[in-house]
Amino acid sequence: MTDASARILQSLREGVPLVQCIINAVVINYTANALLAAGAAPVMADVPGEAAELAPNASALLINLGTPDDEQRRAMREAASAAHDAQTPWVLDPVGVGALTLRTDFARELLRLRPDVIRGNASEIRALAGEGSGGRGVDATDGVEAARSAVERLVAETGAVVAVSGPVDLIVGPTGEARVTGGDALLTRVTGGGCSLGAIVAAAVAVSDPFAGAVAAHELYAAASERAAQGDVGPGTFAVRFLDALDAVTTAELASR
């Protein structure tokens, strides 16, 4: 898989996929910068009408439930439906699902539009599958392996690849599974650390199949975070250095992991 991830990173940087993001207001700027640093082209189109118009022409779509107000939920429905009809690959990031009822019910509604990848922490994935009550706000209170039965249920019910972030990431699809080790804990202390991963997954899926793309995105994220954390680094410095690292990670680095 590391060789495949290297090839996907090269394809991403050469192809510059257009990634439509309907994402929470807290992380819009950081996520756009993360996509640019990785080699993709972000477009943050979340206005009803425009969202549906863009989705069939985008390379991939990310829907992130971080701040799902009424207008944004309308745009998400429209974009996910348009992406489904046009076979534009799309990623669902069920931020905070389980902890709050509105977004939990809405996330389950979106599952009917068949995301290609579902990416979240263990508590979000368990809650989405109806096996838990969610974490503490957007933070996980469950370990990755505790979400295994929920992952398998979501894969079986939706056909999606399900990626669970943690100290060791778990990625499971209809035909196989992988674990991605490495990374740095400072990612959990930066606003947008998880949300931007969803966007990078969408960029990778735009140039590959969903399983290989999800694995490649997690490998790139781990490698970049390790680069960014070298030396005496706090969360503020890490946030900036992580963007630099997303740009600096080479295909040879991924191939050698």
Q: Is the dihedral of CA 110, 114, 120, 123 positive or negative?
A: positive
User: For the chain, how many residues are written?
Assistant: 257
Torsion angles phi and psi, residue 170, rounded to 5: -115, 125
Q: Is 44 annotated as a binding residue?
A: yes
For residue 181, what pLDDT band results from cuts at 50, 70 and 90? very high
Q: Is the dihedral of CA 191, 75, 53, 124 positive or negative?
A: positive
Q: What is the pLDDT of residues 27-68, one digit of tens each?
A: 999 999 999 999 999 999 999 999 999 999 999 999 999 999
DSSP state of 207: T
pTM given for the model: 0.94
Domains in the chain and their CATH numbers? 2-251 (3.40.1190.20)
Q: Which helix (H) or strand (E) holds 42?
A: strand 41-43
Q: Is 236 annotated as a binding residue?
A: no
Q: What is the pLDDT of residues 94-128, one digit of tens each?
A: 999 988 899 999 999 999 999 999 999 999 999 99
**Rounded distance, CA 144 to CA 21, Å?**
26
For residue 143, what pLDDT band results from cuts at 50, 70 and 90? confident
pLDDT attached to residue 142 = 66
Output the furthest CA–CA distance in the chain (Å, rounded): 49
Structure token digits, residue 237: 């410095």
Structure token digits, residue 217: 């995105």
Q: Is 7 annotated as a binding residue?
A: no
Q: Is 165 annotated as a binding residue?
A: yes
For residue 215, what pLDDT band results from cuts at 50, 70 and 90? very high
